[in-house]
Amino acid sequence: MAVRPIDADELEMFPYSEGAGTEEQISEWIEQTGLSEDDTASRARDLCWKVIEGFINVVKTQPTLTQPPITGDTSDGYHTFNELYRHRAILFSVICNERPDVAWKSKRHHDGTMYDGMFIVGIDTPEGQATYHYDIEPYWNLFRVKELELAPEWDGHTPGEAIRRIGTLTQPNEWVSVYDRLPEPGERVLATDCGFVGEFYINKRGKWQRYNVNCSELLMALDILYWMPLPAPPDRRPPEGEEEN
């Protein structure tokens, strides 16, 4: 069958109006134009592709909006990422320096690896470790805590879990009830029965002990109710940038 183009008059005959396009209307249009169903389907496909190609060409010629690259200077309108990074480092250093008994830093992960120019710093909370990575310069000396050759193995905590765990830290010089939490076995702490105060630890049998003598033998009426971590020894190092006398 010979192929002929459909002219504008024939296209106007097609039911384009809203609610049109029923099978009867389409069949009537095909009959009026003298096309077979195969010809109609073929021409419909060609028309669809021309519309799609035209749409693509229009899109290609339109200006596109590209997101600016995200860098340390990217801001939310109040602070840049670099500012927030520094704020977090300083705030975490205050927490760690207040609790040097449970804080640490290391230039190597537990497997000996580390990101270029960085270190890891962490604090052990009642619910597990909380850690962050920082650039060695300028943050290493900001953390006045013990340095480990290798950091403890990561326990899988997420950033959200880290900040929640930090919130469980007992404030320095705050008594902890033995009904809430006990120190680790062997950890020397201050303990009291709300009368006598002294340095104790829990031995391997789970008993409070002081100077290698069971507290029940030392003071028969002693019943430990509260404890707190021992304060850190004075930091006699000079401030950063100053020389030691």
pLDDT (tens digit per residue) in 104-160: 999 999 999 999 999 999 999 988 999 999 999 999 999 999 999 999 999 999 999
Decide if pLDDT at 235 tops 70: no
Q: Check residue 242 and give its pLDDT.
A: 60
User: Range with the lowest mean pLDDT among 11-15, 81-85, 118-122, 163-167?
Assistant: 11-15
Decide if pLDDT at 48 tops 70: no
Q: Where on the phi/psi map is residue 103: left (φ > 0), alpha (ψ -120 to 50), or beta?
A: beta
Q: In which band, very low, low, confident or very high, does the pLDDT at 86 lie, cut at 50, 70 and 90?
A: very high
CA-wise closest residue to 208 among 223, 196, 229, 228:
223
Q: Check residue 221 and give its pLDDT.
A: 46
CA 202, 207, 209, 213 dihedral sign is negative
**pLDDT > 70: percent of the chain:** 63
Q: Where on the phi/psi map is residue 22: left (φ > 0), alpha (ψ -120 to 50), or beta?
A: beta
User: Range with the lowest mean pLDDT among 19-33, 107-121, 127-141, 216-230?
Assistant: 19-33
Q: Check residue 33 and give its pLDDT.
A: 61
Q: Check residue 207 and give its pLDDT.
A: 84
Q: Check residue 220 and give its pLDDT.
A: 44
Q: Between residues 96 and 240, which one has the greater pLDDT? A: 96
Q: In which band, very low, low, confident or very high, does the pLDDT at 16 lie, cut at 50, 70 and 90?
A: very low
Q: Check residue 205 and give its pLDDT.
A: 83
Average pLDDT in the chain: 78
Q: Check residue 84 and give its pLDDT.
A: 92
Decide if pLDDT at 40 tops 80: no
Q: Is the peptide bond before 183 cis (omega within 30 degrees of 0)?
A: no
Q: Check residue 14 and give its pLDDT.
A: 47
Decide if pLDDT at 17 tops 80: no
Q: Check residue 63 and give its pLDDT.
A: 63
Could you tell me the two tokens for 235? Answer: 């930091």
Could you tell me the two tokens for 48? Answer: 């669809």
